[in-house]
Amino acid sequence: MLKHIYDFVVIGSGISGISAANTLIKNKKQVLILDKARNSGGRLSTRFHPKFSFDHGAQFFTTKDKEFSQIVQKALQTKDIAIFDHPEKGTVYMGNPVFRPFISKLTGPLEIMQNALVTHIQKPEDRPDEHWSISIADVPAVFSKNIILTMPATQANVLLPSYLKKLKHTTSQAIYEPCISILAGVEVPLSSSIFPGNTKLLDKPILLQKGNISWSIAKWSCSNENNTAYLSVVIHSTPEFSSKHIEQDVINFSNCLWEEWKSHIKTDDIFKVSALPKNISYLKGHKWRYARVTKTADQKCERTNQKHSIAVAGDWLEGPRIESAWISGRNAAISLLPQD
Ligand SMILES: Cc1cc2nc3c(=O)[nH]c(=O)nc-3n(C[C@H](O)[C@H](O)[C@H](O)COP(=O)(O)OP(=O)(O)OC[C@H]3O[C@@H](n4cnc5c(N)ncnc54)[C@H](O)[C@@H]3O)c2cc1C
């Protein structure tokens, strides 16, 4: 049987992988994205529960890049993205109410295999014109003329064959800090003493940055039918707290960060926190080992090896932001496309 050979395989369906694939399909290339996760988006990630929804990775972004700005403008029109007035950063963009619909629109035209953990990529060093063989856990290998790695640098480093010394060196330069993220969901009857005289509370997200909490956002949603308000809270712990606890089971400190969040709400008198029900409906944690890039790879380092048809991309090359990841993915794709 003849084996199918893609023009491009992109590993990772985060923003940089989506951007790379988007550029490639615009150039009529046949592209497959492989991602080990259940859903696309990478660190721009949403978790759903029947009553709550949480963006537990990236929270908001800004845009300057022309192409990315146009995409965001479209998403504003379809209401997948909303403008948010950030107290320090001014106008930023957020998921409306979460990022998943935005990601779904971006990935709609792309061929993506989720739950596909790439374990190995292979091509003989002395036969650069051969195709890549890409091994995936539990499913048959796939083959491609070109390959783009878009995962965090540390993970890309492990996959790169040892003969691609310069690319390996590039991946060894990036430094990350971790983030422990807590997701809490609480159901509050609309008759609760939290609300009378304070119904405006339901309209605006509650932001909090204090103590071990570097960022927190709490959003209300409402069911008049059930006479209930649902509070979805995302808490990101500081880099110091996260580094200290990253090797521990997240369950150990979910509760303590939740209690800390409530204590700040109480001290700042944001609402009557004692009126929250004692039993919390949802409490989960997530450990982002490679959350925020604190040092990007040197601009002069190799990002593409044209001879072997392979490139790397990700926020660790351009900067720790959604838009930088987008730019990086596009750059990687362009670097492997035939030049006019
Ligand atoms: C807690 C947190 C808060 C943040 N806040 C903001 C913010 O407010 N604003 C902002 O602009 N940015 C923020 N960021 C940073 C932003 O999320 C990233 O810059 C951006 O999402 C990186 O995209 P990426 O495509 O480069 O990488 P990723 O999103 O990490 O994508 C890499 C993908 O590769 C996949 N993968 C990895 N290894 C393999 C493998 N072996 N096989 C198959 N697939 C694999 C992963 O599953 C993942 O989907 C935040 C990040 C975190 C974690």
Going by alpha carbons, the residue nearest to atom 38 of ligand 1 is 151
Helix, strand or coil for residue 76?
helix
Question: Which among 106, 107, 80, 104 is positioned nearest to 93, based on CA atoms?
Answer: 80
- Asked whether 57 lines ligand 1 (CB < 6 A), one says yes
Phi, psi of 149 (to 5 degrees): -100, 125
Phi, psi of 20 (to 5 degrees): -60, -50
110 Cα: distance to centroid of ligand 1 (angstroms): 18
- Asked whether 14 lines ligand 1 (CB < 6 A), one says yes
| Cα 275 → chain centroid | 34
Going by pLDDT thresholds of 50, 70 and 90, the confidence category of residue 278 is confident
14 Cα: distance to centroid of ligand 1 (angstroms): 6
Is the pLDDT confidence value at 98 over 90? yes
- Asked whether 241 lines ligand 1 (CB < 6 A), one says no
Residue of 43, 238, 289 to test ligand 1 pocket, by largest number of atoms within 8 Å of CB: 43
20 Cα: distance to centroid of ligand 1 (angstroms): 14
Going by alpha carbons, the residue nearest to atom 13 of ligand 1 is 58
Both tokens assigned to 258: 């939740």
Instruction: Kindly report the number of other CB atoms within 10 A of residue 191's CB atom.
Output: 10
Question: Which among 115, 134, 160, 100 is positioned nearest to 8, based on CA atoms?
Answer: 134
- Asked whether 317 lines ligand 1 (CB < 6 A), one says no
Q: What is the pLDDT of residue 118?
A: 98
The widest CA-to-CA distance across the chain, in whole angstroms, is: 74
In angstroms, the CA 91 to CA 83 distance is 7
Q: What is the pLDDT of residue 87?
A: 87
**237, 180 Cβ separation under 8 angstroms:** yes
Q: What proportion of the chain, given as a percentage, has pLDDT over 70?
A: 98
Phi, psi of 239 (to 5 degrees): -55, -35
| Cα 67 → chain centroid | 19
- Asked whether 315 lines ligand 1 (CB < 6 A), one says yes
Is the pLDDT confidence value at 228 over 70? yes
18-46 average pLDDT score = 97
Going by alpha carbons, the residue nearest to atom 7 of ligand 1 is 58
pLDDT digits (tens, 9 = 90+) for 33-76: 999 999 999 999 999 999 999 999 999 999 999 999 999 999 99
> Which domains, ranges and CATH numbers included, belong to the chain?
5-174+296-336 (3.50.50.60), 176-292 (3.90.660.10)
Q: Which atom of ligand 1 is nearest to the CA of 59?
A: 8
Phi, psi of 53 (to 5 degrees): -145, 145
- Asked whether 25 lines ligand 1 (CB < 6 A), one says no
Is the pLDDT confidence value at 197 over 70? no
